Each structure stands twice: as structure tokens, then as C-alpha cells.
């Protein structure tokens, strides 16, 4: 009976971790899409900064910076380097 409880606890922890990871991934993808859409909408990358994107999207400036640095999209990586 003790081994069954250990297995159940392990499975619950694994499911909670998977749920948390999927939630973080979806949140990242949504933020990435919102930032990318804003950059495409504005058209002029030279005038866009992390601060202006954060202001226009309503996403925290730190979050915009974090998403841009993790993103595989070149346009977002260019934003963080400017």
C-alpha cells in the first residue's frame, strides 16, 4: 500500500509540473504573437523599442524583453538588440 501512495504522489507531481509547463509555453506563445503582431502593425522597426512595444501591447516591459530574447523569430531578436 505504501508503494501505491508513492506512485500516486509521483504521478500527481508529474501532472502538476506538466500543467505548469504547458501553461508557461502557451503564455509565451501568446505574448510572442501579440508582440509580433504589434511590430508588423507598426511597420517601422527603427522607431520601435521594448518600452514602446510594452506600452502599445499592455505587456510588462520586462516580459517583452524576456519574450524577445527567448523567441526564435528574428524580428523579435532584432527588437531586443536595438
Of residues 7 and 42, the one with the higher pLDDT is: 7
- For cell 536595438, the residue is 82
Q: Is residue 82 scored above 70 in pLDDT?
A: no
Q: What is the pTM of this model?
A: 0.80
For the segment 4-11, the average pLDDT, to the nearest whole number, is 95
Q: Express each pLDDT in 11-35 by its tens digit.
A: 999 999 999 999 999 999 999 999 9
Q: Is residue 9 scored above 70 in pLDDT?
A: yes
Q: Express each pLDDT in 48-73 by its tens digit.
A: 888 888 999 999 999 999 998 888 88
Amino acid at each position: 500500500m505504501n508503494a501505491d501512495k508513492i506512485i500516486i504522489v509521483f504521478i500527481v507531481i508529474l501532472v502538476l509540473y506538466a500543467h505548469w509547463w504547458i501553461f508557461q509555453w502557451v503564455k509565451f506563445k501568446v505574448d510572442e504573437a501579440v508582440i509580433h503582431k504589434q511590430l508588423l502593425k507598426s511597420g517601422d522597426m527603427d522607431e520601435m523599442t521594448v518600452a514602446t512595444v510594452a506600452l502599445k501591447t499592455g505587456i510588462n516591459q520586462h516580459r517583452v524583453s524576456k519574450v524577445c530574447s527567448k523567441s526564435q523569430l528574428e524580428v523579435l531578436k532584432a527588437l531586443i538588440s536595438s
